[in-house]
Structure 1
Amino acid sequence: MSSRSLNGRMAGHRRTYSAPLNNNGEDIEQPSLDLKRMPLRSPIDFSTDIFELLSLRSERPVVKEVFTGSYQGQPAIRVATWNLQRLTKEKICNLGVLEVVCRTILENGFSFIAIQEVCSKDVLEKICCELNHSSLRRVREWTGAKGEWRWQVSEEPVGDMSDGAEYAAFIYNVQHGLQLLSASILSIQENNGSSFSTKPYLGYFKVNDFEFVVINLHINGSKLAQSTGTSNLSDSGEDEEGSPSHMVSQLAPLVAALRDKLVTERNIILLGDFSMSPEDIAFNILRETSYTNIVPADTMTGTTKESDYYDNIWLNPCIATLYTE
């Protein structure tokens, strides 16, 4: 703020009243200045105005073709995964964050998004409400169909983060034909009896007459260290932690649990934050069970060098035949 007040006087300047005279030359009594009875002014909140200015100056990508729920004349959906990195209520109430999230969803024509690192169960409502009943300028300006969005958050935490519990979530556009049938957390017991790092969150969906299962995953990187490319054995002949064989064993309980739980399911999508490149040897167990990753290993999916290639989507053979690029 300027050191001057809005009327041009120096801030803190003590003003003295000159006493005007009435027609009889007598002083006119001045009103007393009682600070206790004066109404307090509300502090001026410039955050909305600043956001509007920044929003107008921030360019959005040019969308050449808007996805409307069909591909080459056939009904279709666009599936996505997004680690929103500690999505708290405070974070999503930031107008800039909310605008970027909603515009990204609309510009890419997503039908369904699996979200990781949700810190509060009510944050997804904020996103869906903005998509359904736009209040932000840039979201209102979107000329394409916004759809009708709904959300589903895990009833209990799927894991722990350094600053609290982590929930998994789905948001989906029912105008693209999506219907959520049910959702549940899958508990996994490893060979040593401990629970898997972050529990998978299963969503059973239907679009028209087609049913499929989506498994929202956030695999803890500390449990799946980067592959060294060689198998290391300790003096006792056992695999050392960090070796490829050890990492494969960490994924084996997940694959076994999915096989047992989804024995009757034909169409399965694994997606989320896998903490490693899909080319890592730790994912050989997925390839051996005929899963295929559809995000190429050289595709940047993160905003930091350490997480550039971590997010991916793996399809089982049945649903892979329906995949289009």
Structure 2
Amino acid sequence: MGVSIFIQQVLNGLTLGAVYTLIALAFSLVMGILGILNLAISEIFMIGAFIGFSLIMSGVPVWLALPGAMAVAAVISMVIARIGYEPLRNASHITPMLSTLGFSMILQNFATNTWGSDPMQLTLEGWLDTRFHFGLVSLSVVQIVVFVVTLGLCVLTALLIQRTDIGRGLRAVAENRDVSRILGVRPRRMILVAFALSGLLAGAAGVLVGLHYSVITPYIGVDIGLKAIAVMIVGGATNIWGALLAGPIIGILEVLTVAYGGAAMRDFIVYGMMIAILLVRPQGLLGGSSKTSGGRV
């Protein structure tokens, strides 16, 4: 029975880690290309969750609600790029970061005034409420959806970055914005693309975490967003595959800590691991030299 409980907790940790991975990847894209920490991503994730919930509760199928929430999150992210980043792109890196922090407060206020501060609950029905039992271990359809969507989005993002003209443009801007302009790349367009991609990933994560927990509040972005930043740091601040590795590690570690050590130890263990990685390997588990283009995006 003890082994079954352990396996169940690992599965729960993998589900949580998948959500962390998507948000960490959203942070990594903007960090790797523009060198700034977009703090609004945490609240874009939260807005994505509310849009997804609202669509599903209105009778929209999940397979349509997911891209719908992703699209809204991408538009919000592009607005932030236009208003909160581009006018400040020549300022010190701390200035646009503080601008995104302001946008995160605006988004949180907007959500509170639109949907209220009380938790919004969703009752899963039909195929979403199905669970598969393997002895004492169970796996829900929602968990399978979270795994499949996360892996699919990570692979698609990696292929986009490494195999397409858009990806080459993003990598060129990440390497040297002025030189990329000479080579025919339009940096302003690539900046919008980077913000849009990060919004798509954050919006997807919002819907998935909402489905997993069946309850959301306007404040879910704060805690989960900070954990995603920890995942980004542990995996390698600008490495896509680093986020895919570190997300499950952090998720499993957090869930096992709660199960066997108590909830009070959860944040201590997670952020303690982040600090340890910073001390021992500052570039993260899969991060390379900051001078290597492959380690940036």
Calculate the TM-score normalised by the size of structure 2. 0.24
Asked which structure has the greater CA Rg, the reply is: 1
| TM score, norm. by length of structure 1 | 0.22
Q: Which of 1 and 2 has higher RCO (CA within 8 Å, sep 6+)?
A: 2
Q: Which has the higher strand share?
A: 1
